[in-house]
Amino acid sequence: MSVPVTRRPGPDWLHPGWSWTVGRAWVITALSASVTLIVGAVLGALPALLAGSWHDAQTRDQTWVLIGFAAVSLAAAATAVMLNRKRRWVLGQNGTAYVIQEVGADWARQDERAFLDSAGRYFARVIEVPGPGQLGHPWNWPLGDGAQRWDPKVTELVRSFQALHSDDNPKTPSGILIWAWWAVAAAFGMRVTAADRDLVLDVWHRPSHARAGDVETVIGSERPHRFGSTEPVALARLLPDSAPREVTWPVKLAVTHRTAVPAAAAGKPVSVLLLRLGQQSWGPLREVPAEPEPDGQHDLKIDDAAGIIPGPSSEVLIHELRCLPPPDGQFPWPAVPSLVAACADWIERKAADLDGHTLLLGTVMPPETALGLGITAGQVRRTGWPQNLWPLLYHASAATLVVPHLNLGTAYDRAGDE
């Protein structure tokens, strides 16, 4: 049974005027040290002052000097106490940061340790969520052997988070810093949200050095996003030049099966959904601004580890939702909720249009956006989300796209119970 929590407002719930106290705790330390020095000086001069005579001009001058020092000391002490209280308040509002580091086998390691070391100054607590590789046998989200076991491994990750979160103060905000495949981030967000309708997650921005370019950020400079708390501004209004548009690509699937395809999937048409929130290439599709050629067709090689694609080959369409970032190549952090809302609405529309199809989902998006998409999909009001939705991930060493056994649709719970 989940513990009810008080829902707080969206991203503007923290007064920005006191955020600086968290990153500049040295100010409080300096004030406290100055108080100690001044009090020591006053106490050291007090015996000589008491031994003197008030009729002596020098004694009177020294008295007024000591009174001035005492006043400054009291003011510094009061300021230090106030700033320390405000700092504790900010830390309490930032709450607990849950760090999820589930990097893939083919990933180039990023130096996130320096960022995480600094993150400890901005939260009341920082908790590293142990993943499947820390709870049992070694695991690094392989796309080769082991891609058939992604679904139960995400379940392990979700249960690990739930166990840690249940021991935390339910009134404390829960933040997420995540390093993971976009599919893992989306599945995690969807499942923890669907399992606990009272859960509110703050998604924090973290630095990245990936295909989309270098993204540097400092905690405290940007507020987290709370997906589902409010309706975001439409992307077309927020960034008119990034308004979503749909592009359709004809492709020929060449499928390699690892397991027998269930009879229920046989004969179903296949459609590929692609969320391209950037200019990067995806699979056989070139970088934007490439457009489909009138008579062109691409080959899409897929390694079906989930056993959900019927037949060895077929001609299908890739339905691409394209949102191009501003000229600097990066979407501003405040635009992420609008991007997530546009993607979620589009997936629901396409699922209705392609009812009865086996849906595969590819993306070009950072994990925070994928986490927000999963949280949005897990909301009780999202009634149009497809029952079955399977991720397509690029396996660099094999130069092919892989469908791991990880259902991003609403039927994941039934699949996990079988």
Q: Does 256 lie in the same domain as 340? A: yes
Name 355's bridge partners.
Answer: none
Q: What is the pLDDT of residue 72?
A: 75
Pick 362 or 41 by higher pLDDT: 362
pLDDT > 70? residue 384 = yes
Pick 17 or 66 by higher pLDDT: 66
Report if residue 224 sits inside a domain: no
The per-residue pLDDT of the chain, averaged, comes to: 81
Residue 283 structural domain = 235-417
Report if residue 10 sits inside a domain: no
- CB neighbour burial string for 369-383, b if at least 16 within 10 angstroms, e if fewer: bbbbbbbbbbbeebe
Q: Does 109 lie in the same domain as 73? A: no
Q: Does 116 lie in the same domain as 61? A: no
Q: Write down which residue in 215, 247, 269 finishes a domain.
A: 215
Q: Does 52 lie in the same domain as 30? A: yes
Confidence of residue 45 (pLDDT cuts 50, 70, 90): low
Report if residue 226 sits inside a domain: no
pLDDT > 90? residue 84 = no
Tokens matching residue 24 = 């500049």
Q: Write down which residue in 215, 250, 275 finishes a domain.
A: 215
Could you tell me where the DSSP H helices lie in 95-167?
113-119, 132-135, 150-166
Mean pLDDT value across residues 301-307? 92
Q: Count the alpha carbons within 13 Å of 318 in the hemisphere toward its beta carbon.
A: 26
Report if residue 2 sits inside a domain: no
Pick 125 or 273 by higher pLDDT: 273
Q: Does 280 lie in the same domain as 138? A: no
pTM here?
0.80
Report if residue 27 sits inside a domain: yes
What digits encode the pLDDT tens for the residues 13-34? 344 555 555 555 656 677 677 7
Contacts of the segment 217-224: beta carbons below 8 A, 24+ positions apart: 217/333, 218/23, 218/118, 219/115, 219/118, 219/119, 219/122, 220/19, 220/20, 220/22, 220/23, 220/122, 222/333, 223/11, 223/12, 223/14, 224/11, 224/175
Q: Does 386 lie in the same domain as 259? A: yes
What digits encode the pLDDT tens for the residues 357-368? 999 999 999 889
Report if residue 326 sits inside a domain: yes
Q: Does 405 lie in the same domain as 303? A: yes
Q: Write down which residue in 215, 247, 280 finishes a domain.
A: 215
Q: What is the pLDDT of residue 330?
A: 85
What digits encode the pLDDT tens for the residues 146-160? 999 999 999 999 999
Q: Does 247 lie in the same domain as 203? A: no
Report if residue 320 sits inside a domain: yes
**CB within 8 Å of 295: residues ≥ 6 apart:** none
Q: Does 139 lie in the same domain as 190? A: yes
Report if residue 11 sits inside a domain: no
> What's the total number of domains in the chain?
3
Mean pLDDT value across residues 316-336? 90
Q: Does 260 lie in the same domain as 339? A: yes
Q: What is the pLDDT of residue 6?
A: 37
Q: What's at 124, amino acid-wise?
A: A
Mean pLDDT value across residues 266-279? 89
Q: Does 73 lie in the same domain as 160? A: no
Pick 334 or 261 by higher pLDDT: 334
pLDDT > 50? residue 200 = yes
Q: Does 115 lie in the same domain as 79? A: no
| Calpha distance 162→333 (Å, rounded) | 27
